[in-house]
Amino acid sequence: MAVSLTRRSIGWQRWNRFGPIRTLYTDLDFVPEKLSEDVKIHSARSQTTLTMNQLLQLKGVPFAQFLHKELPVRLARRVVELENLPYGLSAMPSVQKVHSWYESTFEELRSTPLPSNANDTERFKVALEKVLTRHNDVVPTLAKGLIELKKTLGVSEEKIVDRCPFLQDFLDRFFLARIGIRTLIGQYVAVHSDRPGFIGLFEKDCKVRSVIEYAADDAGLICSRQYGVRPEVVIKGTLDLHLTYMPGHIHHICFELIKNSMRAIVENPKFKSQGVFPAVEIVIAEGEDDIAIKISDQGGGIPRNDMRKIFGYAYTTVKDPPDITSGTSQPQLAGLTHVPMAGYGYGLPLSRIYSHVFGGDLIILSMHGYGTDAYLYLNKLHQSTEIVPR
Ligand SMILES: Nc1ncnc2c1ncn2[C@@H]1O[C@H](COP(=O)(O)OP(=O)(O)OP(=O)(O)O)[C@@H](O)[C@H]1O
Ligand SMILES: [Mg+2]
């Protein structure tokens, strides 16, 4: 399904040590001829973003009608983007697989009549549940696409991403868009399933400390399985902090950060020899507009030279990385038994994207020779608008 980019010269060209990078599209003004007219039209339309408050109020027919209009626009943009990746990445079998999922979902939604009554909204929910399942494995499948490209080009996928800033940007944009789409669909499905204490995916009274404790337990389980020991986790600060938020997103990020801290502590030769490990220290703080969670460890930190790499996709210091394609990257789906302690190189970049969805951020500071501090900021205000990529 990939279209040769050399057929038409548009945008700008880059050159690096792999040779000429094929023409890159800097925006969506141009779309290849092979795409259906409908995809072209939708990819050119503006996306509509909602504030958290607006999202929390949507239900029933208006919500279904909003998604019926909005999802094809967002999906079409991704279809176009998947057609236009540099180095011939678009032609890799796994990227084409992801492309075919996005295209099928786009076509399915476009052939669904506009929902206009309660029966339609129920049918729409069933259709969207199937969409969620179809797209479950987008992350490992795209990662597999990078591995296929690595074999074709004969360089490591980490180096491909490192040397091509466009690829890093593409993956950031693509995953941000994916989380946005899944949040909208997940919210629709969940809001029509009436879970007590929740408005869709949002827990009305989400206790931040409990979510962190769950994440610490999950990370600790994997750590014990891998190393036979697990550092303690101490939580301080505003322990009674609660807000309306998606616990799933907080869990995902904290789980990844705690896993990283535990690995650094347990692998630090300073403690390994004694068998006594310092705790991972977590502080929860509440500001006027946001909440902050700091996760600190004494795992030895990260060399300054490596700091620019840690948010790069596929960057890992695990010597013999596990195969990301052998399972799903979503612990909640796969169960923790399939999640390795480290090695995919997707933990930090994806966590940062999760933090960005409603305007938050993730910052890592390190003192090499001592330890690492991760600062997670989440917007408290429900006026904060969903961030979507172009
Ligand atoms: N707290 C930390 N202390 C020391 N190094 C860290 C810490 N957090 C991250 N790193 C470094 O950053 C790299 C990238 O982290 P990231 O979580 O993205 O990938 P990973 O842990 O290797 O694999 P996975 O995607 O399975 O989590 C790690 O391999 C490690 O070298
Ligand atoms: Mg990690």
- Residue 32 Cβ < 6 Å to ligand 1: no
HSE, side-chain direction, 13 A CA sphere, residue 20: 7
Residue 74 backbone phi and psi in degrees, to 5: -65, -40
Q: Give the pLDDT score at 5.
A: 29
- Catalytic annotation, residues: 252, 256, 259-260
Report the candidate in 269, 274, 313, 282 with the shortest Cα–Cα distance to residue 220: 282
Q: Give the pLDDT score at 21.
A: 30
CB 214 within 8 A of CB 251: yes
- Residue 351 Cβ < 6 Å to ligand 1: no
Minimum mean pLDDT among 103-117, 136-150, 248-262: which range?
A: 136-150
**Residue 174: is its pLDDT beyond 80?**
yes
- 177-215 per-position pLDDT tens digit: 999 999 999 999 999 998 999 999 999 999 999 999 999
Q: Give the pLDDT score at 191.
A: 95
- Residue 310 Cβ < 6 Å to ligand 1: yes
- 293-324 per-position pLDDT tens digit: 999 999 999 999 999 999 998 899 999 888 77
CB 275 within 8 A of CB 269: no
Which ligand is closest to the CA of 298, given by its number? 1
Q: Give the pLDDT score at 368.
A: 98
Better-predicted residue by pLDDT, 313 or 23: 313
3-state helix, strand, coil in the chain (%, to 5): 50, 15, 35
pLDDT over 90, % of the chain: 68
How does DSSP assign 149-182, residue by residue?
A: HHHHHTS-HHHHHHH-HHHHHHHHHHHHHHHHHH
pLDDT over 70, % of the chain: 86
